[in-house]
Amino acid sequence: MKKSIKIQYILPLLLLAFSCTDLDVPIASSYTSDVFPRTELEFASVTGPVYVQLRNTIALDYFYTQELTTDEAVLTARGADYYDGGRYLELNLHTWDETHPFLGSIWWWSFRGVSLCGEILEALSNAPESPFKDKTIAEIKTMRALFYFFAMDNFGDIPIAPEYGVVELPSQSPRADVFRYIENEILEAIPNLSKDNTQSTYGKPTYWMAQALLAKLYMNAEVYTGTPMYNEAIVAINQILNAQANGAPSAFDLEQNFMKIFDVDNGPHIKEIIFAVPFDQNFGANGMRLGRFPLHPLLRVNYGLPTSISVGNCLSTWADFYYLYEEENDTRQDTWLSGLQYYLDGSPVMDGTYHVNLDPEIAFVNIETFDRGRSPQQIAQGARNVKYTPDATWTSSRDSRNDFVLFRYADFVLLKAEAILRGGTDPSGENALSLVNQVRTIRNTEPFTSIDMETLFEERSREMAYETWRRNDLIRFGKWESTWGRDAATGLPVKTNNEVYRRVFPIPQNELASNPKLVQNDGY
C-alpha cells in the first residue's frame, strides 16, 4: 500500500546544500530549462527532499520537545544510562536554555524545510505549464506553511525567509505577522490542492490537510496574536467533517479499531488519517522508534522482536496522566502497558525472581540526576505507551514502519467542540457535548451528560496522547505553568517551574551567533 508514495523519496536531482538559518544566501537553482519537470513522476521526484526533511526529525527530536516538556511523557535515567548530559531532564523540568541540542535540532529542521520549499518554488515558477504544476506548487507552499507553523509555534518571533536572490540577513518578525504570513500561504494554496483522499495523495498536502493546518492555526490564534479566531477554526474544521458532503471521493471518519490507526500497517486505508508522515524500510527509514523506546526488554517476545535489536525501556508517563484512563472498557486503554506483565501464553514475565510490574508510580533514587535506579524493580517503573505498535518486521534497526500520524479526524472533532465552548458559533448547529460523545462512543466509553472545558481537556488527554500536540494543548488551556509528575519516594511534585516565558523556546545559541539580527526571546 505504500508503493505509491515511494516516488516522493526519489532524489534524481541534487539540491544545493546551504545553511538553513542564513536565509539571506542567494540560491542558484539546481533546475534549468532542460531539466524542468513535466510529468507527475518528475514533479514528485523534484519535491521529494521536502518530504524527506519532514520525516527526518518529527518522530525523534520534535517528539521529545513536544512530549517530554509535558505531563504526558517522562524519560528518566538508570544510573548513567539515559542521563545524556541532562538533555531529557531539562525538558521534563523546564530548565532548558539556548544550548539545548533538541532545540537547535528542531530550529534547523524547520528552517531547512522552509529553505528547501523556497528553492523548489523558485524553480517551479519557471517550469512550463502542465496539469501538475499548479497542484505541486500549492503542495509545496502548504509544506512551507507547515514548517513555518512548527517554527512559529515553538519559537514565537521568527524570521520570514526573504525571496531568493536577496542578500540580507533576516530579522525576526513578530509572531502575529508570521501567523498572517502562514495563513495567507495556506489560503493561496487551497484552491489548487487535491480534494482526493486516496493512496495517490497519501503523505502529501491535500485540500483537507490544508484545512487541518488552518484550523490548528486558528485554534491557537489567541495565543499567537492575542485575538481569538474560533469561528474561523470551526469553518475550517467543518470542511473536514463534511468532506463527503462537499463532493470528496472519500470521506474521513472515526475508526472503530483505535490501535489500527497507529499500527505497523497503517496507511491510506485508515479513514481517520488526514495527514501522516510515511515510514518504510526502503524509502523512509530512520527515526520512527516510538514503539520501541517505551518497551521493557523482556516484553519484546510479545511483539515478535528479535533479541538482536535493542529496545529503549526508557520512555514512560507520569502516573497522574496514566490515571486519566480510568474506564475499563475504553479502547484507548490498549495503548498502555502497566501493572504485572504476562507473556501471550499467560505465563508471568520474570526478571530473575521478580515478576515484572510496570508500576505507574516512579520513585527516584537521585532526583538531581533523574535517576530511578537499575534494579529489576526500578527499571520496570512507569506505565508505557505503545500506541505506535512495536514493529517485528523491521529487524535491522530499532526503527519501525508505522506512519507517523500528524492530523487525524478525532482531533478535529474535539477541537470543534472546544471552539464552541470557547464562544465560537457552528453554522451547522452542532453542540460541544454531542461532538465529544461521538468520540467517546466509538472508544466504547459512556457518553457524558454535560461538558465543560476541564472535562473536554481530559478527553483530549485520553484521545491525543503521544501525538505531539500536548505542549500546544497545555499552553492553549493555560496549564503549561502547572506542577506535574510525582516522586513516589517523597510524594513531592517533580516539575515545579512556572516561568511563563517558557511558553516559547529560546533561539538556539548557534543561530544567534550566525545572525546578529536575531534577538533572544524574553527571559532567556
CA pair distance 452, 458, nearest whole angstrom: 10
Return the pLDDT at 330: 98
Are residues 176 and 321 located together in one domain of the fold? no
Q: Is 487 exposed, middle or buried (0-12, 13-18, 19+ CB in 10 A)?
A: middle
Q: Quick check: is 313 in a domain?
A: yes
How many residues belong to the chain?
524
How many Cα atoms sit within 13 Å of 44 on the Cβ side?
15
Return the pLDDT at 127: 84
| CB within 8 Å of 191: residues ≥ 6 apart | 138
From the list 241, 173, 196, 292, the residue with the least C-alpha distance to 419 is 241
Are residues 186 and 224 located together in one domain of the fold? no
Are residues 143 and 96 located together in one domain of the fold? yes
Return the pLDDT at 249: 54
Q: What is the mean pLDDT of residues 71-93?
A: 95
Q: Quick check: is 25 in a domain?
A: yes
478 close to 494: Cβ distance less than 8 angstroms: no
* Category of 515 on φ-ψ map: left (φ > 0), alpha (ψ -120 to 50) or beta: beta
From the list 88, 107, 60, 81, the residue with the least C-alpha distance to 495 is 88
pLDDT in tens, 506-520: 999 999 999 999 999
Q: Quick check: is 401 in a domain?
A: no
CA pair distance 486, 382, nearest whole angstrom: 11
Q: Quick check: is 402 in a domain?
A: no
Q: Quick check: is 105 in a domain?
A: yes
| CATH number of residue 212's parent domain | 1.25.40.10
Return the pLDDT at 480: 98
Are residues 58 and 199 located together in one domain of the fold? no
Are residues 243 and 207 located together in one domain of the fold? yes
Q: Quick check: is 403 in a domain?
A: no
pLDDT above 90: percentage of residues in the chain: 78
**211: domain range?**
193-286+408-480
Are residues 381 and 491 located together in one domain of the fold? no
pLDDT grade, residue 287 (50/70/90)?
Answer: confident
pLDDT in tens, 441-482: 999 999 999 999 999 999 999 999 999 999 999 999 999 999
pLDDT in tens, 118-171: 999 998 988 888 878 999 999 999 999 999 999 999 999 999 987 766 668 889
Q: Quick check: is 51 in a domain?
A: yes
More confident: 5 or 484? 484
Return the pLDDT at 29: 46
Are residues 378 and 429 located together in one domain of the fold? no
pLDDT in tens, 9-55: 433 333 333 334 444 333 334 545 456 777 778 888 889 999 999 99
Are residues 82 and 220 located together in one domain of the fold? no
Return the pLDDT at 28: 39
pLDDT in tens, 207-224: 999 999 999 999 999 999
From the list 55, 40, 39, 76, the residue with the least C-alpha distance to 369 is 76
Q: How many domains does one find in the chain?
A: 3
pLDDT in tens, 414-440: 999 999 999 999 999 999 999 999 999
193 close to 142: Cβ distance less than 8 angstroms: yes
| CATH number of residue 175's parent domain | 1.25.40.390
* Res. 247: pLDDT tops 70: no
Are residues 103 and 213 located together in one domain of the fold? no
Q: Quick check: is 162 in a domain?
A: yes
pLDDT above 70: percentage of residues in the chain: 90
Are residues 92 and 36 located together in one domain of the fold? yes
CA pair distance 454, 22, nearest whole angstrom: 43
CA pair distance 427, 429, nearest whole angstrom: 5
Query: pTM of this prediction?
Result: 0.93
